[in-house]
Structure 1
Amino acid sequence: MNKYLYTAVLLAIAVACSNNSKPPKEDSTSSVVEDNSLSGSTSSSSYDSLRGSGKFKNVELSPTLDQKMIAAGKSVYEVKCAACHKLTTEKLVGPGWKGVTTRKSPEWIMNFVTNTDEMIDKDPRAQAMLAVCMVRMPNQHLSDEETRNVLEFMRNNDSSK
């Protein structure tokens, strides 16, 4: 009897954890080279996979990097981000940051940082990162200014000019 119960529980877990998502779709409307290998459909038809979900709709970036913002972003990184994210491509607890600004739009990055839970719930790429990292990123409750400074620090890390 225990053998059947054990088998039924394992089968239920396997079914619950199966991935029934549709194949990825390409989207070439962004100036940033989007990492669409993990995108797919979501239950929310209003979800914008290029921008993500949150208040940031249009982030204007200067063609040159702002050194004051980079320094402020580095301070935020050291206090709130460095324990989980390396500045290389290497995964620590969360994914490494190298190249993130070439794969994701500024709006997606800022929305993910400030609206973490909803983004993980809706965005297929964020869900795929969660599957790899196995740890849900906690909301760090950064202000808009802190978030923009972190983005500038990320741009500097990727040597964007």
Structure 2
Amino acid sequence: MKKFLLLAGMVSLIYACGGGNKEEKKETPATAESTESAPAAPADEKGIGKFTKVDLGDKLDAGMAQAGKGIFDIKCSACHKLTEEKLVGPGWKNVTQRRKPEWIMNFVTNVDEMLSKDPKAQAQLEICLVRMPNQNLTDDDARHILEFMRMNDGVK
């Protein structure tokens, strides 16, 4: 009975950290531009993935930020704090000042390739010692997370 409970707990943890909807990711043209066949931008700037240009606009989009907070609460808060303090993963404070928006969106939607090939992602992995699991975020989810990160960093 104890083995069954342990196994059930492990399955629940794995699902919570990376499970979820396996639907094809869709992108809203107004939120980000991507080009599947375009060469990857230099790893130190935009990361590795399809996001080559992300238009943030001049002001924070409060609706997107609120949606991003909901995603953070469900999928991110177990490993990340909103301060500079490291939990399992790095703290999110000032992340939008350290990384370009394209890098952030490429990282959260293409985490495995970024951790395998991007020097900045690999350096962070050496500090944290734990690979971020693929959260199966849609492109819209990633954009909402980015807007929440901007709000956390004081963008108005």
TM range (shorter): 0.7 to 0.9
Q: 2:77 aligns with which of 82, 90, 94?
A: 82
* Superposition RMSD in Å: 1.3
Equivalent position of 1:68 in the other structure:
63
Name the SS for the 1:84 alignment partner. coil
Count of residues in Structure 1 that have an aligned counterpart in Structure 2: 117
Preserved CA contact (<8 Å) 2:40 2:47: no
Aligned counterpart, 1:143: 138
Q: Unpaired runs of 5+ in structure 2?
A: 1-38
Deviation string 1:15-51 (CA, Å, 9 cap, x unpaired) is xxxxxxxxxxxxxxxxxxxxxxxxxxxxxx9661200
How far apart, in 2, do the equivalents of 1:122 and 1:85 lie?
22
SS in 2 for 1:121: helix
TM-score, normalised with respect to structure 2: 0.72
Counterpart contact for 1:114–1:141, Cα < 8 Å: yes
Instruction: Please tell me whether residue 130 in structure 1 is matched to residue 125 in structure 2.
Output: yes
Contact 1:47-1:122 within 8 A present in 2 as well: no
Structure with more relative contact order (C-alpha pairs < 8 Å, separation 6 or more)? 2
Task: Give 4+ residue runs of structure 1 displaced > 4 Å after superposition.
Answer: none
CA contact (8 A) 1:73 1:150 kept: yes
Normalization by structure 1: what TM-score?
0.70
The correspondence of residues 10-21 of structure 1 with structure 2, limited to 5 A, is none
Query: How far did residue 160 of structure 1 move?
Result: 1.9
Paired residues of 2:84 and 2:90 also in contact (CA < 8 A): yes
The CA deviation at 1:125 is 1.3
- Among 90, 93, 99, which residue is 1:98 paired with? 93
Q: Does structure 1 conserve the Cα–Cα contact (< 8 Å) formed by 2:40 and 2:50? A: no
Deviation at 1:62, TM superposition (A): 1.2
Q: 1:147 to 1:46 in 2, by over 3 A?
A: closer
Percent identical residues: 60
Contact 2:40 2:49 in 1 (8 A): no
1:113 to 108, 116, 129: 108
